[in-house]
Amino acid sequence: MTRFDVLVQVMPRDTLLDPQGQAVGQALTALGFAGIGDVRVGKAVTFQLDRPDEDAANRDARAMCERLLANPVTEAFTVVVEGAT
Amino acid sequence: MRVAVVRFPGSNCDADTVRAARQAGADAFYVWHRETTLNGADAVIVPGGFAYGDHLRAGAIARFSPVMAAVRKLADAGAPVLGICNGFQVLCEAGMLPGALMRNAGQRFLSRPVTVRIENTDTPFTTAYANGAIFRMPVAHGEGRYVASDAVITDLEREGRVVLRYVDDNPNGSVNEIAGVSNPAGNIVGMMPHPERAADPALGETEGARVFESVLAGIAHSSGGPQ
């Protein structure tokens, strides 16, 4: 069994309005940062996961996203699995 | 006629909802979210609030509470189930209603009256309304923007499952001004506005009371008379 570090990133789907991202973009512009484009705000979830191999860790992390960590109607997710060093 | 009002940690419209149901003549009572049965309820209401502090997403954690298995079982048997505001979010997260509620387009938490229209009087929560009835109810939410895939929206519209629609203004940017929807069978309904806050002359609006009167009339009818 290996302990993996899992990073899940959950973002609002590209086709959906992200008012939180808009607000952050406006705030950055108000602070004087020029050239701010489309800003979107999502969330990151990290956890450790004990699995026999990386494939199993990846598969289960994705299952967790589909069942809880992301809402498939509104959010897309990416999973990064790294072996603990 | 027994109406269960589910209480999660963070529910805050539970007392108003019980009161409105009682005012309509129901034997309404609370059911704590750790319970595994609904104490003989004929109908269930999942009230507004911030169940589990809206952690992760509104309704995302609440749907795992033990009571939700009982709510689903009763709904599968055809009993009326209503989600109001956070309750609507919980039912969407549980997959009992289609779509999801996202952050308001205008970025603000909204707490004010809105004007709505009844679009379907065939659900157990809308039979006491005239079709097309327009009235005011309060909303109070930060995440009330109804979204769903184009295919789901098409189905909802074609099958008359948009139960309630905002008129005059769209407070949160919901697709097609949708304020409330039902499942295909029609017995599960979710809505963002708060009928329990528009159910007494002291509250300034009374038309919300018909939501509770509807479910009472329906159950009395299906069981052969008032119980």
Which of B123, B138, B38, B141 has its CA nearest to residue B86?
B141
CB contact under 8 A, A74 and B60: no
Mind telling me how many Å the CA of B192 is from chain A's nearest CA? 18
CB pairs under 8 A between A and B: 34
Judge: A74–B147 Cβ closer than 8 Å, yes or no. yes
Segments forming the whole domain that contains residue A55: 2-83
Rounded to whole angstroms, the Cα distance separating B217 from B131 reads 17
pLDDT of residue B86: 97
pTM tops 0.90, yes or no: yes
- Burial class from Cβ neighbours inside 10 Å (0-12, 13-18, 19+) for residue B203 reads middle
Alpha-carbon radius of gyration of chain B: 16
**Stretch A59-71: mean pLDDT, rounded?**
96
Among the partner-chain residues A17, A69, A71, the one whose CB lies closest to the CB of B100 is A71
Best residue in A39, A73, A75 for a mutation probing chain B (most B CBs within 10 Å): A73
**Residue B227 pLDDT:** 38
Is the CB of B149 less than 8 angstroms away from the CB of A73?
yes
Q: What percent of chain A has pLDDT over 90?
A: 96
CATH number for position A56: 3.30.1280.10
Per-domain residue ranges for chain B? 2-222
Q: Which regions in chain B score pLDDT beneath 50? A: 223-227
Q: What is the pLDDT of residues A3-29, one digit of tens each?
A: 999 999 999 999 999 999 999 999 999
Tokens of B18: 């019980």
Cβ–Cβ below 8 Å for A19 and B104: yes
Are the C-beta atoms of residues B129 and B214 closer than 8 Å to each other? Answer: yes
Structurally, how many domains does chain A consist of?
Answer: 1
| Burial tier of A3 (Cβ tally within 10 Å: 0-12, 13-18, 19+) | exposed
- B151 in contact with chain A, both atoms CB, cutoff 8 A: no
Q: Residue B97: which of B194, B188, B160, B195 has the closest Cα?
A: B188
> How many CB atoms sit inside 10 A of residue B40's CB?
9
Q: What is the pLDDT of residue B226?
A: 41
Over 90: is that where the pLDDT of A72 sits?
Answer: yes
**CATH class of segment(s) B2-222:** alpha beta
ipTM of the complex: 0.85
Annotated catalytic residue B85: yes
